[in-house]
Structure formats: C-alpha cells, structure tokens
Amino acid sequence: MKPITEKRDVQDRVIGWEYISPDDLQGKRNFNIKEPFIVEILESRLKELNPGIITDENAGDVIRR
C-alpha cells in the first residue's frame, strides 16, 4: 500500500485540482486581479462536497462569508 500524499489523495481525488493557464485564469476571474477565487468553480465544488448543505440558493452567501 502506498503512503497517503496530499497531492495524489487529497488535491487530485477529493478536491479535483485542475491546471488553468494564466490567460484563462484572468478571463474566468473577469480580469479582476483582486478576486482570489474563480467563483463559478468554487460554487460548483462547494455544492458537490456539501450536498444538501450548500445549495443554489445559499452558495453566494457562503462564498461572501
């Protein structure tokens, strides 16, 4: 059995990290360099990781907190 690693077992499997090129990243942030998150992706992942808790109705509030 392989030892657990942060990248392989958490980031790649659970979180589902995906490389986004710098040019694509700026477009997804609407060219707002002060925005730390890609809101569309964050909202989707929060709902996926917290089914029934994070919904379409409350996702925006959760992100703003």
- Give per-residue pLDDT as tens, 36-64: 888 888 899 899 889 999 999 999 899 88
Domains contained in the chain, number: 1
- Say whether pLDDT at 21 is over 80: yes
Q: Would you put residue 16 in left (φ > 0), alpha (ψ -120 to 50) or beta?
A: left
Asked if residue 27 is part of any domain, the answer here is: yes
Q: Would you put residue 52 in left (φ > 0), alpha (ψ -120 to 50) or beta?
A: left
pLDDT (average), residues 18-39 = 85
- Say whether pLDDT at 7 is over 80: no
- Say whether pLDDT at 11 is over 80: no
- Residue in 40, 34, 30 with CA at minimum distance from that of residue 63: 40
Asked if residue 1 is part of any domain, the answer here is: no
Domain that holds residue 44: 6-64
Q: What is the pLDDT of residue 16?
A: 64
